Amino acid sequence: MTEGKITDLAVYDNKMLEETVLIEFNRQIGKDTWLMGFRSADLASLAKPGQFLMIHLDRNTKDPLLRRPFSIHRIQDRNQLMILYKIVGKGTLLLSSLKEGDPISVIGPLGNGFTISGPHERTLLIAGGMGIAPLFFLAQALNKVQKHTIKMFLGFSTSQEVVLVDQLKGLNIDLSLTTEDGSLGIKGLVTDLLDEYLRQELNKKPVIYACGPTLMLKKVAQMAITSNLRCYVSLEGYMACGLGICQGCAVKAGNSKDKPYYYVCQDGPVFSSEMIDWRAM
Ligand SMILES: Cc1cc2nc3c(=O)[nH]c(=O)nc-3n(C[C@H](O)[C@H](O)[C@H](O)COP(=O)(O)OP(=O)(O)OC[C@H]3O[C@@H](n4cnc5c(N)ncnc54)[C@H](O)[C@@H]3O)c2cc1C
Ligand code: FES
């Protein structure tokens, strides 16, 4: 199938579009984990790693409460975008029922995205579960500016949840896989690997990019702050409007005197680790 027909296109500003795209594929790739692809040259040309899309989940209703945020997981052939998602409730279950050729309404790209500040001696990506979704796109982009191999710690609860290992290795990534139950890879948590890594590589001042469950991010951020390392975390907390209107995504600021809260959808979802008050998370 070629590029999806654009049935509706409204430009809110020069960086964000609302577009109805046609699903090119929507397939299960792991336990409750799905990969969906669609084409939009406009969205693909604007998208940066770490940004997200608000996707409407049901073509039979215009109910705005049925939009959900999903990270831009991958861009391929310049105009194909992919999202990687896990079924956790009503919306994601609806999403998994959509078929090739079905239209979906997409708003994006939203949020700030990751800061890619030139080549570093060491770059470490840390992903927990679906946290791999935005980090894959980031790895694609980092590969274009980094001369050295990117290191990644990727963690899941159990082997049935493990996805994308071969594709990540194809991106020239030095991958260490963990599962909490030890059914695949190293038994334990990605933060155990980080602990070990920092003991050996701290003097190389690695730059850390992390996405995953809040508890994982909290630990990664605290370790980075203690070690005085640059660390960017992408928060995937609850979001309603995704557009800075409902204030439902506020997180307490850690170091800002004039801004007590950040809104994840507008100020984030990516934050430098010291920007967040982790005691409140
Ligand atoms: C910026 C951003 C990017 C995201 N990117 C991705 C992605 O790439 N892939 C992906 O699978 N998910 C991603 N998420 C999370 C995704 O948006 C939620 O899983 C989804 O909205 C759940 O919708 P639902 O209707 O299926 O679940 P609901 O019916 O709304 O909730 C079902 C259950 O899931 C829990 N839940 C809902 N949202 C979240 C959340 N954000 N974090 C933890 N638990 C939640 C609820 O507490 C409830 O127990 C992202 C979230 C944000 C804010
Ligand atoms: S989700 Fe509504 S303000 Fe952020």
Is the CB of 239 within 6 Å of ligand 2? yes
Is the CB of 240 within 6 Å of ligand 2? yes
Q: 138 lies in a domain?
A: yes
Q: 2 lies in a domain?
A: no
How many folded domains does the chain comprise?
A: 2
Q: What is the pLDDT of residue 256?
A: 67
Confidence of residue 7 (pLDDT cuts 50, 70, 90): very low
Helix (H, G, I), strand (E, B) or coil at 204: helix
Could you list the residue range(s) of the whole structural domain that residue 74 is in? 9-110
Q: Are residues 276 and 137 in the same domain?
A: yes
Q: What is the pLDDT of residue 11?
A: 37
Confidence of residue 238 (pLDDT cuts 50, 70, 90): confident
Tens digit of pLDDT for each residue in 186-222?
999 999 999 999 999 888 889 999 999 999 999 999 9
Share of the chain above pLDDT 90, in %: 72
Is the CB of 225 within 6 Å of ligand 2? no
Contacts of 256 (CB under 8 A, 6+ apart): 262, 275
Q: What is the pLDDT of residue 99?
A: 94
Q: Are residues 103 and 147 in the same domain?
A: no
Q: What is the pLDDT of residue 240?
A: 85
10 Å Cβ neighbour count for 12? 10
Q: 255 or 40: which carries more pLDDT confidence?
A: 40
Kindly give the distance from the C-alpha atom of residue 156 to the centroid of ligand 1, in angstroms, as a whole number.
17
Q: Are residues 63 and 152 in the same domain?
A: no
Contact 56, 67 (CB under 8 A): yes
For every residue of 11-73, DSSP letters joined together read EEETTEEEEEEEEEEEEEEETTEEEEEEE-HHHHHH--TT-EEEEE--TT---GGGEEEEE--
Contact 142, 222 (CB under 8 A): no
- Does the pLDDT of residue 6 top 90, yes or no? no
User: Could you give the ipTM of this predicted complex?
Assistant: 0.93
Q: What is the pLDDT of residue 268?
A: 93
Using CA atoms, how far apart are residues 108 and 17, in angstroms rounded to an integer?
A: 5
Is the CB of 84 within 6 Å of ligand 1? yes
- Residue after which a domain boundary falls, among 52, 87, 110: 110
Residue with structure tokens 């079924």?
Answer: 87
Q: What is the pLDDT of residue 65?
A: 67
Q: 13 or 232: which carries more pLDDT confidence?
A: 232
Q: 46 lies in a domain?
A: yes
**CATH number reported for the structural domain that contains residue 161 in this entry:** 3.40.50.80
Tell which atom from ligand 1 comes closest to the C-alpha of 268.
1
Ligand approaching nearest to the C-alpha of 249: 2
Ligand 1: residue whose CA is nearest its atom 7: 70
Q: Are residues 73 and 102 in the same domain?
A: yes
Q: 117 lies in a domain?
A: no
Kindly give the distance from the C-alpha atom of residue 266 to the centroid of ligand 2, in angstroms, as a whole number.
8
Contact 270, 207 (CB under 8 A): no
Residue with structure tokens 């090119």?
Answer: 24
Q: Are residues 28 and 91 in the same domain?
A: yes
Q: 188 lies in a domain?
A: yes
Residues of 185-202 as b/e, b for ≥16 C-beta within 10 angstroms? bbebbbbebbeebbeeee
Q: 118 lies in a domain?
A: no
Ligand 1: residue whose CA is nearest its atom 27: 89
Q: 274 lies in a domain?
A: yes
Confidence of residue 58 (pLDDT cuts 50, 70, 90): low
Q: 3 lies in a domain?
A: no
- Residue after which a domain boundary falls, among 110, 132, 157: 110
Contacts of 2 (CB under 8 A, 6+ apart): 39
Contact 230, 207 (CB under 8 A): yes
Q: Are residues 105 and 128 in the same domain?
A: no
Residues of 87-122 as b/e, b for ≥16 C-beta within 10 angstroms? beeebbebbbebeeeebbbbbbbbbbbbebeeebeb
**CATH number reported for the structural domain that contains residue 52 in this entry:** 2.40.30.10
Kindly give the distance from the C-alpha atom of residue 92 to the centroid of ligand 1, in angstroms, as a whole number.
8
Q: Are residues 181 and 225 in the same domain?
A: yes
Q: Are residues 92 and 129 in the same domain?
A: no
Tens digit of pLDDT for each residue in 86-135?
999 988 999 999 999 999 999 999 999 998 876 677 899 999 999 999 99
First and final C-alpha spacing in the chain: 44
Q: Are residues 145 and 272 in the same domain?
A: yes
Q: Are residues 50 and 183 in the same domain?
A: no
Kindly give the distance from the C-alpha atom of residue 190 to the centroid of ligand 2, in angstroms, as a whole number.
29
Phi, psi dihedrals of residue 64, rounded to the nearest 5°: -65, -20
Q: Are residues 169 and 200 in the same domain?
A: yes
Structure tokens at 147: 């001369």
Q: Are residues 26 and 158 in the same domain?
A: no
Residue type, 219: K
